[in-house]
Amino acid sequence: MNRDFKTFIWYFCKNSTMISFKEHSFSFNNVSLAPSEQIGLHRQPLWELSYIVTGSGMRLIGDMTEPFQCGEVVLIPPEIPHCWIFNNNDTDSNGQISNITITFTNEFLDNCSSVFPELRRYIEQLKDIRGAVKFDKRNAGFIASVMKVMCGQNDVGRLSSMIRLLSIISITDKAHIVGAYNMIDKKRERLNMVHTYVICNATRNISLDDVVRYVGMNRSAFCVFFKQATGKTFVTYLNEYRIELACQLLKQKNMSVSEICYHVGFTNIPYFNRTFKRMKGCSPTKFCNDE
């Protein structure tokens, strides 16, 4: 089991009632949580069907980054890196976002095809999908209605609804491609993984070990690789990205320097001030006043 899949399993165990694949043929989760608790960039050996019930923000899937709104339904094939970055100011009255997610394996599809010949052509179409797709408004509405009904169903009822969904999600002629994952050279792939990881997690308390585990290298090898490829250490790269985020927030003049410090991922105000001055040539306060 790879690290991303274990992170994915932990996330759902923490934030919802996780349905075990040992006891069920697919996983169904109705999740409500704070925007900051949404799982970061990940990929897993599963198909993922997600319906955004409450919330909006930026969606990163494979090689594409796009804004998203509530009501969208997206199907993501296995092994495509993805994450949803939710806006903090678009929540329900409890300050939470919500989504319904169904995950299933290729083995589940093969079993359905073997047991139910009526589904065979739909499953063949489904397994031909290579990129993530966002369904058109009509089909998204239908899929969402079935997923909402599943929230109140027992295991047998959900299985019946899932079989019904397979015949719908396999038809993507009116769907919109929202991300693919093209294999590229290993060096570029690793750099893209680091860049994407930083974009999705810079405001969190992440460490060198976190990104090393995500890329799949040991610590010393990664440090040598990254310094040779970029001319800087990962910590410098991360801090540069965080300082650029801080500059954007300082220009808006809606937050204090200390609030911005913690918001962009720093945990120490003096260190934030020193890093900012070294990179920008002035203090955060002077930068704000000059804008």
Domains in the chain with CATH codes? 3-179 (2.60.120.280), 186-290 (1.10.10.60)
pLDDT digits (tens, 9 = 90+) for 216-234: 888 998 998 999 889 999 9
User: pLDDT at residue 53 above 80?
Assistant: yes
* pTM for this predicted structure: 0.61
More confident position, 116 or 186:
116
Q: Look at residue 290 in the predicted model and tell me its pLDDT.
A: 76
pLDDT digits (tens, 9 = 90+) for 88-101: 889 999 999 999 99
Q: Look at residue 233 in the predicted model and tell me its pLDDT.
A: 93
Residue type, 209: D
Mean pLDDT of the chain: 87
Contacts (Cβ under 8 Å, ≥6 apart) of 57: 35, 67, 68, 84, 85, 86, 87, 90
What is the average per-residue pLDDT within 159-176?
92
- Which of 94-98, 177-181, 261-265 comes out lowest in average pLDDT? 177-181
Contacts (Cβ under 8 Å, ≥6 apart) of 117: none
